[in-house]
Structure 1
Amino acid sequence: MDIEEDIRSLQLDSAEEDNGVVNPEDAKAEEVEEVDKMEEDSKEDVHKEAVQVEHKVKDKEISASDNKPVVEKEVCKKRHLNVVFIGHVDAGKSTIGGQILFLSGQVDDRTIQKYEKEAKDKSRESWCMAYIMDTNEEERVKGKTVEVGRGHFETETTRFTILDAPGHKSYVPNMISGASQADVGVLVISAREGEFETGYERGGQTREHVQLAKTLGVSKLLVVVNKMDEPTVNWSKQRYDEIESKMVPFLRASGYNVKKDVQFLPISGLMGTNMKRRLDKSICPWWDGPCLFEALDATDIPERDPKGPFRMPIIDKFREKGIVVMGKVESGTVYEGDSLLIMPNKAHVKVIDIYCDEDEVRYAGPGENVRVRLTGVEEEGILSGFVLSSIAKPINAVSEFVAQLQILELLDNAIFTAGYKAVLHIHAVVEECEIVELIHQIDPKTKKPMKKKVLFVKNSAVVLCRIQVNNLICIETFSDFPQLGRFTLRTEGKTVAVGKVTNLLSSN
């Protein structure tokens, strides 16, 4: 009952008291006293209720149960997508990434002018946009991305984390690290005469990056044909169609559903054409499709499980008011105050702060690239490839597992048999491994095991085998956690096989 109703009730009670006549002055004085008292009581009740609610919220926020409320310091209702830029060296990945940050207002004109001057001083005027993503001096001097560049931007409906992967074959392990964190891939192809052909021919990074992206779980692909404004191309539909016609069969052979999961579009990364706004018909009369921002906005978000056991592979760490680890949440949700495990060394840690992009938040769900400040562990006790994991259901730590492998292309004169050694890449783990047994070969048509005992296999074969590593690694079966059960095998700088974990053998 509110205060006004109480006052009316009080007036009726006073008027009927003893069935007698009430002195108006006395009645008025009593009413004022009662109203004052009720207002004080009401304020006190509201205050108590607010305190109780605040305590309940705080108690629930630090609780590690699955029924915790979702309370953010920074509330953002937008969906989130991780986008990796892949492709052959010099295709324009860093320039496109830099242009996106500029067009979305993440970089101001003064910074661009500084980069333009720096690029001009190096006689590399066309590199200025790439400097936004390529931040260290080695990258700027060489004009080649080495580390995975990272940036953030938003559209009206979506928050994006962009990952600029290196294109040079010497830095493929870094590209693998970037692609393993992504949901969507932007494959950048240069339309310039000769550059597309160099990337697409055998040994070119266009091919390897596509195969790696598919293996690493990048299910959606935007193929952007860049440098369409280049004088030898000049927005030629013939050149664009030629590139698309050659790429489609290869994408299909790499496992992509081209009609459903792949989209082509022409752009100029250096000029920003067909990126934030659609192409002007005066520039390119034959194109009536979307611009890059629209295509990214229309991309579906992959299914994620916010209530699953927590899994976050650690890709990097640093000291800043404690130990901060970086990575992508693959499963579950992490809250401020949670107690977790770092596997495989079983270190018990507590979450102090969580950051998404540059914002401090109370919790982070699957798909978010986050920084998490921890207590209870020293910097030396954390390595890339370790996994931040729930205590109730920690991730498996094994030194041996069974996997289904697809052989891509072995080195010349190499034989894939028991004893074969390679470097294993699985999420953020990089470990030397050995094939200890070929269990059986799989018929590519029927998908069933062949009866004949196999001693070795050749290119394009599919084989079930047992793999051993020297140190404990944190992995899951592909059927349980696809992102933690996909891997690649590389030898002497070349990807020789891709695979998925089917069974875990030895664990701690």
Structure 2
Amino acid sequence: MAASEVVDGMQRLQVEDDSGPATSSPETLRNINIVFIGHVDAGKSTLCGHLLYLTGNLDERTLEKYEKEAKSKGRESWKFAWALDLTEQERSKGKTTDYGVASFRTRTKHITIIDAPGHKAYVPAMISGTGQADVAILVISARKGEFEAGFERGGQTREHAMLAKTAGVRQLVVVVNKMDEPTVQWSQERFRDICDKLTPFLKQIGYRPQELSWVPVSGYSGENLRERVSPSVCSWYRGGSLLEVLDALKLPPRPLDVPVRMTVVDKFREMGVCILGKVESGIVRNGDRLLLMPPRLAVQVAGITVDAEEVPAAEPGDNVKLLVKGVEEDDIHPGQVLCAEDAPVEATTVFDGQIMLVEHKSILTAGYRCVAHIQAAAVEVVFERLLAEVDRRTNQIAKKYPKFVRPGSTFIARLAVAQPVCVTPFKDFAPLGRFMLRDEGTTIGAGVVLRIPGQRIVSGVKGATDSSSSEAAMT
């Protein structure tokens, strides 16, 4: 995709005219979850805070308070960021350390925004936030030197984009921020240069042109956020504002008529035991009895909250707070899954996965250990056996039982974890069939679950059978 296609008015998502039909009531709005990702200091938190302000979710008095406090610290430009950077550590250093969540409404959608940290030290929190998203906004700083720092080796732009794709985020909005900065001044040439460098990489990791949208903005001044940027400021951009693009996003499919699956992100105590998570499939209703997997504990839903409002039911895509009975707070851990009693998800200590090794300091052999991120769970994993090397062009087995694999290769391996985790074959249920591999603070690979060998299920759902069945199926 040529950069000229981007700047000559292309919008990969059709933007509706302002004269289109307005939504009749908040109840008709469909929910969509959007995560803001990108290199540190790209302006993600400021962008999120300004969107909240423009949509009426950050009032003038609170903004003035933030501005006064930020000014006293010599950081007046951080006033919008403080809407989501709430801790003293985040505010004093100007770095998001955990993901923040807020929401606003457009004409057609209820949008939940997730502000993910951009610093390399907080990638696990970024992964947890991205796991709850349907769409990602990749925020790029147009300031001279900052885009290059994020995109070149060691920057987080590449890693965040790849992690979003691995997490199943199919739509990506590339927001080129800080276009009003003195080194940029809404330069068409700078915008084109960024597009030209990013496009091949995004294509390489799997994003198709129709899944991408490109928007130049200023997160601090607010230009091209709600209202389209004035031609007197930027004469070459003919696309929609960021809110118009978000309003036109395609909603992902919502699997309603299937068993309940809800991934657990966090827990806390508030008038009882509460679970935070995202409903992946099915409908969770107040009063439902569900299973917490593992360790197969029965729980009853005593209350459902979405965006601080109590609701009778939650649907796929909703990030919810459940008040539950039947379990203690210590029984709940990130990465567990709430599921239907009559159709529990599998929990196992071993699975076979197809992995793309993108970065590693040397060859990888059986016995190698690293950390696997499966939804919100982060578990140590060991490569028990390398089963096959795969030809990336044909996706066919090129070599059986290799002794080692090199960076850049795709292969099938048997992975084992010390504690049971909830996974499913990717072809059966994609949200629980993806995982990411990290070691020494670096993402080294991404993969999908192919099968659970021999149905070695530890949850009591299925009994053990021949453990060689996976190798037989692979051959």
- What TM-score do you get using the length of structure 2 for normalisation? 0.90
Question: Is 1:225 aligned to residue 176 of structure 2?
Answer: yes
The answer (yes or no) to whether the contact 2:363–2:407 under 8 Å persists in 1 is no
Cα gap change, 1:453/1:347 in structure 2, threshold over 3 Å: closer, same or farther?
Answer: closer
Q: Which residue matches 1:319? A: 269
1:486 match: 434
Using the TM superposition, give the Cα deviation of residue 453 of structure 1 relative to its aligned residue in structure 2, in angstroms: 3.9
Deviations, residues 166-215 of structure 1 (Å, cap 9, x unaligned): 00000000000011110000000000000000000012100000100000
Distance 1:331 1:319, change over 3 A: same
Instruction: Assess, with a 3 A threshold, how the Cα gap between structure 1 residues 288 and 108 changes in structure 2: closer, same or farther.
Output: same
2:296 equivalent to 1:346: yes
Offset from partner CA, 1:62-83 (integer Å, 9 cap, x none): xxxxxxxxxxxx9711111000
Aligned to 2:159: 208
Aligned to 1:301: 251
Q: For the residues of structure 2 that align with 1:499 and 1:313, how far apart are their CA atoms?
A: 19
What pairs with 1:242-321 in structure 2 (closer than 5 Å)? 242-257=193-208, 259-321=209-271
Equivalent residue number for residue 330 of structure 1: 280
CA distance in 2, matches of 1:88, 1:240: 17
Q: Which amino acid is 1:273 matched to?
A: E
Give the ranges of 4+ consecutive aligned residues of structure 1 lying more than 4 Å apart after TM superposition: none
- Structure showing greater radius of gyration is 1
Give the SS at the match of 1:90.
Answer: coil
Q: How many residues align?
A: 432
Give the alignment partner of residue 401 of structure 1, picking from 351, 357, 365: 351
In the aligned structure 2, how far is the partner of 1:127 from the partner of 1:422? 37
The counterpart of 1:86, out of the listed 12, 23, 37, is: 37
Given the alignment of the two structures, is residue 426 of structure 1 paired with residue 377 of structure 2, yes or no?
A: no
Q: How far off is 1:304 after superposition? A: 1.8
Within 2, Cα distance between the matches of 1:121 and 1:217? 42
Q: Which of 339, 353, 372 is matched with 1:389 structurally?
A: 339
Corresponding residue SS for 2:396:
coil
Which amino acid in structure 2 is aligned with residue 160 of structure 1? Answer: I
Match of 1:18 in 2: none
Do 2:387 and 2:400's aligned partners in 1 also have CA atoms closer than 8 Å?
no
- SS of match in other structure, 1:288: coil
Contact 2:372 2:438 in 1 (8 A): yes
2:444 aligns to what? 496
The question of 1:163 aligning with 2:111 is answered no
Q: What SS does the aligned partner of 1:177 have?
A: helix
* 1:280 to partner: Cα distance: 0.7
Mapped partners of 1:451, 1:87: distance in 2 = 37
Residues 385-414 of structure 1 show CA distances to partners (whole Å, capped at 9, x for unaligned) of 111111010011000000000000103xx3
Q: 1:454 aligns with which of 399, 402, 405?
A: 402
Cα distance in 2 for residues equivalent to 1:95 and 1:357: 21
Where do 5+ consecutive residues of structure 2 fail to align?
Answer: 1-24, 459-475
Q: Determine if the alignment matches structure 1 residue 468 to structure 2 residue 416.
A: yes
Partners of 1:451 and 1:92 in 2: CA distance: 46
Q: For 1:262 and 1:147, how far apart are their aligned partners in 2?
A: 26
d(CA) in 2 for partners of 1:346, 1:276: 47
- 1:236 aligned to 157, 175, 187, which one? 187
Aligned-partner SS, 1:409: coil
Using the TM superposition, give the Cα deviation of residue 481 of structure 1 relative to its aligned residue in structure 2, in angstroms. 1.2
Q: Matches of 1:390 and 1:280 in 2, distance apart?
A: 52
**Counterparts in 2 of 1:56-71, with a 5 A limit?**
none
Q: 1:398 to 1:171 in 2, by over 3 A?
A: same
Q: Deviations over 1:208-261 (max 9, x none)?
A: 00100000011000000000000110000000000001000000001100x210
RMSD (Å), alpha carbons: 1.0
2:437–2:446 Cα contact (<8 Å) kept? yes
Task: Judge conservation of contact 2:390–2:399 (CA < 8 Å) in 1.
Answer: no
Give the 5 Å matches for 1:135-214: 135-214=86-165
Distance 1:231 1:75 in 2: 41
Structure 1 residue 507 corresponds to structure 2 residue 433: no
Which residue does the alignment assign to 1:128? 79
Structure 1 gaps of 5+ residues are: 1-73
Q: Distance in 2 between matches of 1:207 and 1:275?
A: 24
- Aligned residue type for 2:182: P
Q: Deviations over 1:405-460 (max 9, x none)?
A: 0000103xx32110011000010110000000000100111210014541101111
Quote the Cα distance in structure 1 between the aligned partners of 2:333 and 2:180: 45
Match among 377, 383, 388 for residue 440 of structure 1: 388
